[in-house]
A = this chain, B = another copy of it.
Amino acid sequence: MRDLFQEELDAINADISQMADFVMKAISRATESLLFADRDIAESVIESDVILNDLAATLDERCIILTSKQQPAAMQLRKILGSMRIASSMERMGDLAVHVAKSARLRYPARSIPDELVETFRTLGHLAEDITNQLKSLINNPDVNSATSIQKADDKIDAIHRELFRIVLDPKWSHGVEAAVDVTLLSRYYERFADHAVSIARRISHVITGEAYIDTHI
């Protein structure tokens, strides 16, 4: 009975890992649509999001059936609930990739960001992919060090987010209000994306270390 339970937990983990792959592709392509003002890529990110939502819904259902059939003890229950929350955060990361793609689509055929910020958003895109990649490793092979390294990547994204604020608010900013608003919102989408990754990483470390999980990241 318990082996079956472990098998089910492993299957749930595999689903989450698949969601991470999906999210990584979504943020990578959303960034691409933004950097190259590519409407087709933007559309494909927006349309594919339904797949991620379906994956999350299926995972939820699987967790509910597992819990009601196997009647797990508190510790196992915490793992199942943790998985459901991770799936829910991944779904939200997908939504944020969609927001980036929608911004790209909105300004097409122009680019939502000024030329001088292309490299900055390319870096944000790479960091977001990198964080998702590390998240996937952490899911497949939980260890506390990966959680720390995800936190570091998040710190870098936060620093860029603050720097972008400084840039758009600088008197030398010459691209007007619309570009400032676009840049601010886009920067916030990447920042929130990374926040969700950190929150997932903390949840996983919590399961590894058995420490209480408190999400102080707002």
Contacts and interface: CB of A to CB of B under 8 A. Distances in A.
Per assembly, the copies of the chain total 2
A149 interface: no
- Interface residues on chain A, size class: 35 or more
Given A98-B218, A184-B184, A77 B49 contact: no
Interface string A42-81: 0000000100010001001000110110011110011001
B84 A74 contact: no
Contact of A181 (B57, B64, B95, B181): B181
The winner among A67, A78, A85 for most chain B CB atoms within 10 A is A67
B49 A218 contact: yes
A177 B185 contact: no
13 contacts: A49-B218, A53-B214, A64-B81, A65-B74, A71-B71, A81-B81, A85-B88, A169-B181, A176-B177, A177-B177, A177-B180, A185-B185, A188-B188
Interface of A: 49, 53, 57, 60, 64-65, 67-68, 71-74, 77-78, 81, 84-85, 88, 95, 98-99, 165, 168-169, 173, 176-178, 180-181, 184-185, 188, 212, 214-216, 218
